[in-house]
A and B are shown apart, each in its own frame.
Chain A
Amino acid sequence: MKDKLVVKVTRDQIQSARALIEFAGGEDKVDPVIVRIARAQRPPRQARTAS
């Protein structure tokens, strides 16, 4: 079984990463980890049942 580490990043970090990619001129111009931060997904919301 693969060990998966989930790293939480803030909205500010995601925006900074996206701004950095834009400023640098593309995803290939920055550290790959910056691209992964920029693509951070929102965690799936747990299903809520209405009462």
Chain B
Amino acid sequence: MEWWSAALAFIGAGVGSLVSYLVARRDIAQREAEARADVGQRVEQGHLEEWGRRFTIALDGVSSESPRRRSLSRVLLVELGQSALATDQEKALVLSVLDAGARMDGDGDDVTRFRAGMLVDEVVYVEDTGEDDDEGGVP
């Protein structure tokens, strides 16, 4: 009967080791999954922060004194606004900024608003090239 108890002890030890191994393996897999999720979250957070930094630069650039910087900032603003990282609120902000930029002249006046009671049949928009001509601008 002695060999039975030895065999049972051996089997018991084997089963115990197997259970310990499986538990440890599950624990490690769980930790790895958590670590991967954490890294993914950090990467996403990093992308969001970088997007926000660029978005701020683009917004700042559209009111720059430099025409080149203004142009590049507009391109950047459109690209960032079309990104999947942009929220609806930020997209609405891009629309508002571009809309205001299209309507406001160099003095900050809205060229699409005319004096009340002004009667004209046709409004023609022409590019201001800085050259004087006979036709006037916005009254």
Contacts and interface: CB of A to CB of B under 8 A. Distances in A.
A36 B78 CA distance: 20
B127 interface: yes
A7 B128 CA distance: 9
A7 B125 CA distance: 5
Interface in B68-115: 70-71, 74-75, 77-78, 81-82, 94-95, 98-106, 111-112, 114
B32 to A, nearest CB: 42
A34 B99 contact: yes
Contact of A9 (B81, B105, B118): B105
A13 B122 contact: no
Query: How many A residues are at the interface, by size bracket?
Result: 35 or more
Contacts of B125: 7-9, 36-37, 39-41
A31 B127 CA distance: 19
A9 B126 contact: yes
B128 A8 contact: yes
Nearest to B137: A8
Contacts of B2: none
Interface string A1-29: 01111111111111111011011100000
A20 B102 contact: yes
B120 A12 contact: no
A6 B121 contact: no
Interface of B: 62, 67, 70-71, 74-75, 77-78, 81-82, 94-95, 98-106, 111-112, 114, 118-129, 131, 133, 135-139
Interface of A: 2-17, 19-20, 22-24, 30-31, 33-34, 36-43, 45-46
